[in-house]
């Protein structure tokens, strides 16, 4: 049976971290989504002996004609105790019966299960009635092991990446954290990040959220406010001007590269390379053990994949590829779901 959870963020995050979950299922990410104007509910699925078999955050999104769907980002999370398959099946059965805060047309899930884990696969998901759909969050990523020494990390990089890091250092590129202790300076940093991101999105032809979305994220998830998930900015500068920026999330033992931006000016200075290297050094010095590049093209993708360029950049830093099962939809109102799928095909 699903139970609504309304408090105790420490206990919630403890379950997420103990069972291999990521920041999108953290208590704080739910707080940010609420501040961003979304309806958010948190649920716990208990075992017969009173333990927690699974938990997940649900975010509701609107559909046409007054309908809605429920989204569980990188979840649901199940307890790792040898009964993972049965816990996951119990989650699906519970979601078919009820989703607490409403009656959604469908539930979109992104099982935080790597393909090599093996306790459940695509065939199992189809058997449970789920239908594969386009991923919302990256299904493939590269994670760098920060427990290695700095010399080992440099040696694991592609030769060209290592060269570009050294080139940026030699040319005088500098890196700094955002000004968290000065409200006026921090607002300027957020504005600088947005300008770089807007320029990058226009140049590289991708969609970015609006400025207020990132401003809200950086406010709600400021490192000054939380001991769980926090989100911050780092900048690379050349000649006193911003050359590149990264938006980084920190959760558990991992720092995650959420978004990056760079100026079209002085691109030959290779500022993003040094920026990521400094971010890894900073994360390592603070005790984090993983640096997640958060999104690459699948290993079998051809050179024409839209993420091929960014994938070459990210994989150049070394690290291990991790592939998850992607996004799936659980229909709950079949007629409306059929209309929804038809509308997607016609767009």
SS3 107: strand
Enter the tokens of residue 260. Answer: 């990056």
Q: Which residues of 54-74 are buried (b: 16+ CB within 10 A; e: fewer)?
A: bbbbbbbeeeeeebbbbbbbb
SS3 155: helix
Residue 7 has what pLDDT? 75
Neighbours of 45 (CB within 10 A): 22
d(CA 109, CA 107): 6
**Where are the alpha helices (H) located in 205-333, listed in sequence order?**
211-220, 271-285, 308-315
Q: Domains in the chain, ordered, with CATH?
A: 2-139+324-346 (3.40.630.30), 140-322 (3.40.630.30)
* pLDDT tens column, 149-165: 999 999 999 999 999 99
* pLDDT tens column, 72-130: 999 999 999 999 999 999 999 999 998 877 899 999 999 999 888 778 999 999 999 99
pTM of the model: 0.94
d(CA 264, CA 2): 50
How would you classify the pairing of strands 254-262 and 290-292? Answer: parallel
Residue 44 has what pLDDT? 92
């Amino acid at each position: 049976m699903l139970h609504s959870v309304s408090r105790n963020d420490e206990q919630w995050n403890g379950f997420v971290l103990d069972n291999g979950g990521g920041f999108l299922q953290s208590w704080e990410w739910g707080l940010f989504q609420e501040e961003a104007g979304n309806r958010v509910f948190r649920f716990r699925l208990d075992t017969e002996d009173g333990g927690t078999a699974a938990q997940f955050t649900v975010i509701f999104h609107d559909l046409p004609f007054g309908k809605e769907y429920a989204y569980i980002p990188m979840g649901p999370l199940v307890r790792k105790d040898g009964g993972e398959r049965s816990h996951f099946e119990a989650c699906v059965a519970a979601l078919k019966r009820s989703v607490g805060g409403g009656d959604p047309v469908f539930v979109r899930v992104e099982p935080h299960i790597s393909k090599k884990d093996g306790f459940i696969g695509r065939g199992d998901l189809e058997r449970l009635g789920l239908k594969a759909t386009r991923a919302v969050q990256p299904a493939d990523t590269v994670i760098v092991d920060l427990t290695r020494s700095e010399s080992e990390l440099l040696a694991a990089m592609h030769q060209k990446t290592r060269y570009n890091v050294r080139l940026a250092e030699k040319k005088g590129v500098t890196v700094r954290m955002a000004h968290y202790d000065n409200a006026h300076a921090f607002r300027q940093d957020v504005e600088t990040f947005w300008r770089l991101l807007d320029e990058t999105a226009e140049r590289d032809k991708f969609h970015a959220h609006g400025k207020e979305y990132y401003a809200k994220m950086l406010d709600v998830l400021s490192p000054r406010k939380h001991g769980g998930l926090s989100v911050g900015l780092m900048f690379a500068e050349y000649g006193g001007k911003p050359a590149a920026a990264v938006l980084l999330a920190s959760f558990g033992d991992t720092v995650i590269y959420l978004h990056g931006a760079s100026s079209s000016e002085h691109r030959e200075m290779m500022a993003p390379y040094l920026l990521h290297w400094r971010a890894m050094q900073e994360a390592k010095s603070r005790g984090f053990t993983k640096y997640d590049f958060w999104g690459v093209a699948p290993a079998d993708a051809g050179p024409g994949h839209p993420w091929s360029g960014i994938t070459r950049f990210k994989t150049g830093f070394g690290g291990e590829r991790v592939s998850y099962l992607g996004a799936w939809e659980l229909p709950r109102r079949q007629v409306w779901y059929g209309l929804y799928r038809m509308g997607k095909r016609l767009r």
